[in-house]
Structure 1
Amino acid sequence: MGTRIGLYPGTFDPITKGHYDIIARAAKIVDKLVIGVAINIGKGPMFSVEERVAMVREEAKQLTGRDIDVRGYDNLLMHAAVEIGASVIVRGLRAVSDFEYEFQMVGMNRRLNSEIETVFLMASDNHQFIASRLVKEIAMLGGDIRSFVSPRVAEQLIARCAELRRNAGVAE
């Protein structure tokens, strides 16, 4: 049997402690983990794909001794998986609402490529409620985000929110 490559896709806008937890756990069950940062213009990301890839790389560096690669992708997930030789897609689940969406995605992905399995990792208790969308909202409104993201990511997010508020003409 060859190297088992897993692909953990997401927007990571920004990467949260919940994402990091899934990355750390996924890296233990595959030989190589590729973190695929989706371009995902439809979601209107706060950070460019290059910024998000850099953020994820910086966070993943902490997981020494693990074979982890971070790259952007702008095609179908299953095409990205084939390109990197992945046999496993890793997805994190926070709640029942996540399951419903993910269940549909697995069905579609199996139709596109039945050779690639999807593995779900349940969010750890202390990360189940963390969503990038909510973290960005809290940051935009000046709330404390330090318990949801690393200090490095918090600094970047706070700076981006200040920049967006300035550009919108909102007083600090």
Structure 2
Amino acid sequence: MNISSLQFESHTNALLRCLHSNSDLLAHFIYFCFKAKSDKNMNINLKTVKDFPTLCSVEAEPLKKLLCEYEDNIPGKDHKRRVKSDYWYLDALVNHNKHLSNILPRVTYNLKKEDKDIYRWDFEEFTYKGAAYPKQKVFEFIKREYDRQSELLPQIIEEVDLLNAKLFEN
């Protein structure tokens, strides 16, 4: 393994962790916007913040809808359904890398192809919590998930602001 290969793997892993951390940052943002009292024992994640009394009101429906969309509308522990979701693929990939073993991007090549099609970077297939996740092209996967989050996060933040304004106008 040469240095440039190691750098590519390290930078890819760091980018994946950053994308993955957006869920926790988002959950904490919502927690601090709507939770009046701090609870040190609470596990703050998107599931727990979606259950806040504030988010059970009719006014919060657009925000809850966006949060479900952020999780690709697959809540809970349904790992078998999650394999087709980029959000949950990212979750499984990063958690597998953190807790089990690294799934490194693998470079393969085909000399029968031409130009940029000769090389291919993939995450190999893996199993996490009983669900088999398929091989994915690294760049295409990262771009899809980055674009998806880049579209949804500003909408969610705007809905939090709107809901806050409605709650505190009285």
Please say whether Structure 1 and Structure 2 have the same fold, judged by a TM-score greater than 0.5. no
Q: Which has the higher strand share?
A: 1
Higher gyration radius (CA): 2
Query: What TM-score do you get using the length of structure 1 for normalisation?
Result: 0.29
Query: What TM-score do you get using the length of structure 2 for normalisation?
Result: 0.29
